[in-house]
Amino acid sequence: MSSGKEIYMMVISFRLKPSFYSLTKEKRDAMSMAAQDLFAGFSGDLVNHLTYRSLRSDGDIVFWYSSHSPETIEALKFGLNDKFSLYMRPNYSMISLYEDSPYLKPDSVLDDTLKQTPMKYFVAYPMSKQPEWYLLDYEERKKIMAEHIGMALADPEGRSVRSYTTYSYGLGDQEFVVLYETESLAAWSHATRKLREARARKWIVNETPIIVGILREKLF
């Protein structure tokens, strides 16, 4: 049953159109201000909101924001398209629910975890699991995930990465969107490589597209 406290996450990537690159610095500055004003207009309904420059070839701008209301998620998405459709278009989005893990006891308020000082880099990592995973006994799944979590916590580079596991069953093309913040993409990559050795890896499928961004206050 819904608690009414769910946090809806949105990660949406935009590709800049050729028309953007002919804009003067003043017009780009005005676009950055318009984006700030747009998010400010929703600030009372948002849990967090951050913007990034994308490192993917098929995207340029990434917005990560969250709210307790899916209507706010949609309205802000519409606002971005309405204000900036002349200069950019969405190329991929992921919506998901940020909730407590079924394998861990809650040790913090989820809203509070999203209000920490942002880190320099952001990774949105979608994935699904094979149907056989869900047919395993819960205690077996819990044991497998405990190994996975233990390996992450034991790795010095892994401990420097902040993660948010979100769920997208029936909401998107994937089952999970795991979001990461890090001060080092190298540390993130090394930690990810190490976790390839975890037994939980056996059931993972469909890990695309991975979106990587660099934090920017001034977007354009």
Q: Where are the domains of the chain?
A: 7-98, 120-214
- Residue range 142-179, pLDDT digits in tens: 999 999 999 988 888 888 899 999 999 999 999 999 99
pLDDT for res 128: 98
pLDDT exceeds cutoff 70 at 219: yes
Could you give the C-alpha distances from 193 to 23, 92, 158, 179, in angstroms and in order? 41, 25, 10, 17
Q: What percentage of the chain has pLDDT greater than the value 70?
A: 98
**May I ask the CATH architecture of the domain 7-98?**
2-Layer Sandwich (3.30)
- Residue range 182-192, pLDDT digits in tens: 999 999 999 99
pLDDT for res 145: 95
Alpha-carbon span 104 to 141, nearest angstrom: 12
pLDDT exceeds cutoff 90 at 94: yes
**Helices 25-41 & 70-84, crossing angle to 10 degrees?**
160
Helix (H/G/I), strand (E/B), else coil: 44: helix
pLDDT for res 170: 97
Task: For residue 35, give every residue at least 6 positions away whose Cβ sits within 8 Å of its Cβ, in sequence order, or none.
Answer: 51, 80, 83, 84, 219, 220
Tokens of 30: 């005005």
Asked if the domains at 7-98 and 120-214 fall in one CATH topology, the answer is yes
pLDDT for res 102: 85
The CATH classification number of 120-214 equals: 3.30.70.1030
Per this entry, what is the length of the chain?
220
Task: For residue 175, give every residue at least 6 positions away whose Cβ sits within 8 Å of its Cβ, in sequence order, or none.
Answer: 127, 128, 129, 167, 168, 169
pLDDT exceeds cutoff 70 at 9: yes
